[in-house]
Amino acid sequence: LADPDVRSVVIRAEHPELDRALQEGMEEIVLDGVPMSVRLHLTMHEVVGTQLADDDPPEVYLTARRLVAAGYERHEVLHMLAAPMAAQIHAALRENREYDRSRHLAALADLPASWEQQRAQRKLGRGDPTGRHAGRRRRRR
């Protein structure tokens, strides 16, 4: 999926509910009681797809392989890889910080522990009031 146009079509095809929401002019949807920006979600998939296609940083691909080998589903892995980049973007927008490669790589290295910790917090009711927005579950081996 090196071609960004093809990648965009594939990402939207993998998210038919989000594609429909965009076609209906919806910018935000509520998923399991949690509001979600449709465009931001799709954009984060594109960011991770570009990182993987460009092998930049190479640690993104290595982390993806490690997480898939640990039994996580491909789509959840993409969400896991997006989380550290989302934190970088948030810091740039909210705190006027530049991209911090070492922080990004450290966050990738901390996967899946940081992801599982967030999942546990959501189940305890810290974040998602329903406790159901934990993303896709780990595959059973």
How far is 51 from 4, CA to CA, in rounded Å?
11
How far is 110 from 106, CA to CA, in rounded Å?
6
Task: Report helix, strand or coil for 127.
Answer: coil
Place of tokens 């990182």: 51
Residue 96 is given by DSSP the state -
Query: What pLDDT, in 10s, does the model give residues 77-135?
Result: 999 999 999 999 999 999 999 999 999 999 999 999 999 998 888 778 755 433 333 44
Residue type, 77: V
* pTM to 2 decimal places: 0.81
Query: What pLDDT, in 10s, does the model give residues 44-80?
Result: 999 999 999 999 999 999 999 999 999 999 999 999 9
Q: Using alpha carbons only, what angle is made at residue 94 by residues 93 and 95, rounded to the nearest 5 degrees?
A: 105
